Structure 1
């Protein structure tokens, strides 16, 4: 006799439609977080020029901050009763942050691209905040505030760093 795996069935008092809309937005955020993390690390590895050390350290710091949110995002999806991304392919199907596979990107362009990606993430976070509030998902709503502040801070630092270049 083969045991059939049980369906993941996390208890929640949120309505099914609310769980689906919030978890869809969280999964999109998770995909964008992985894409932005990898792009930021790519730029960390490949930055060059007169501000190398500053940008290299900035990109590494920002990548670590972005990566640190991924587990929290995925666990929010599970806590409210849904499933999350499972693979790099799944990430690529959900991400809106564009990859950058160019052989060379100037430091100035790296700063601008990451700034714009972080600002786009802020927009997504504001939408997620509204969805969480509508769903009465207080815990997601609260943590989204922190993530929004962090993304705004990254965009600000990238903007200011570009003024030096």
Structure 2
């Protein structure tokens, strides 16, 4: 960092008054929920990117493209969540340690897995993300924040579609070695 004097504009974990006039107590709850989904989305993003870089095998091209597109979608979702956190007066969670700490989805690790295992891990992560986002839709709408509910509902549709596509890749006629034993 520079030798210049630095001033913190807003501390991480704080919520200030917001331009959408959401009550401070409600905004704190919503910012906490959104930061959880933001962290989870970034964990999924990094996992998808890793699998995109390392995929190999007979369906390389299709999987490489799918994983790249899914990662880009996750990154766009994360950006939208971070901007909503900021609009509600909060500070978006950032940095690897903070993302891992706030995410309900565990970091897969740095090892490279076979394609079936990697995609299974992705499907599991998407399932966890579906559960988190779904519960937060109910929370934010019960607190009267219908705009955030709308954002989360739109994201949930895409998350569920990606999970459905992963399930198709994992079907028995795909990436499976059949044993006659």
Q: Normalising by structure 2, what TM-score?
A: 0.83
Structure 1 residue 70, shift from structure 2 partner: 1.4
Residue 153 of structure 2: aligned partner: 145
Out of 59, 71, 76, the residue aligned to residue 51 of structure 1 is 59
Distance 1:102 1:14 in 2: 40
Pairs aligned (count): 164
Residue 170 of structure 2: aligned partner: 162
Residue 120 of structure 1: aligned partner: 128
Out of 34, 41, 46, the residue aligned to residue 33 of structure 1 is 41
Q: Which has the higher contact order (CA 8 A, sep 6+)?
A: 1
**3-state DSSP of counterpart to 1:144:** helix
Structure 1 residue 103, shift from structure 2 partner: 3.0
Distance 2:7 2:168 in 1: 55
Q: In the alignment, is the contact (CA less than 8 A) between 1:77 and 1:84 conserved in 2?
A: yes
Out of 91, 101, 104, the residue aligned to residue 96 of structure 1 is 104
- When Rg is computed on C-alpha atoms for both structures, the one with the higher figure is 2
**Any stretches of 5+ residues in structure 1 without a counterpart?**
none
Distance 2:95 2:133 in 1: 22
Distance 2:132 2:60 in 1: 31
Q: Normalising by structure 1, what TM-score?
A: 0.91
Q: In the alignment, is the contact (CA less than 8 A) between 2:104 and 2:128 conserved in 1?
A: no
Structure 1 residues 102 and 81 mapped into 2: Cα distance closer, same or farther (>3 Å)?
Answer: closer
Q: In the alignment, is the contact (CA less than 8 A) between 1:12 and 1:81 conserved in 2?
A: no
Distance 1:87 1:155 in 2: 26
Give the structure with the higher percent helix: 1
Bigger mean CA offset, 80-89 vs 62-71: 80-89
C-alpha RMSD of the superposition: 1.9
Distance 2:59 2:9 in 1: 54
Q: In the alignment, is the contact (CA less than 8 A) between 1:14 and 1:135 conserved in 2?
A: no
Structure 1 residues 57 and 3 mapped into 2: Cα distance closer, same or farther (>3 Å)?
Answer: closer
Q: In the alignment, is the contact (CA less than 8 A) between 1:26 and 1:73 conserved in 2?
A: yes
Q: In the alignment, is the contact (CA less than 8 A) between 2:100 and 2:106 conserved in 1?
A: no
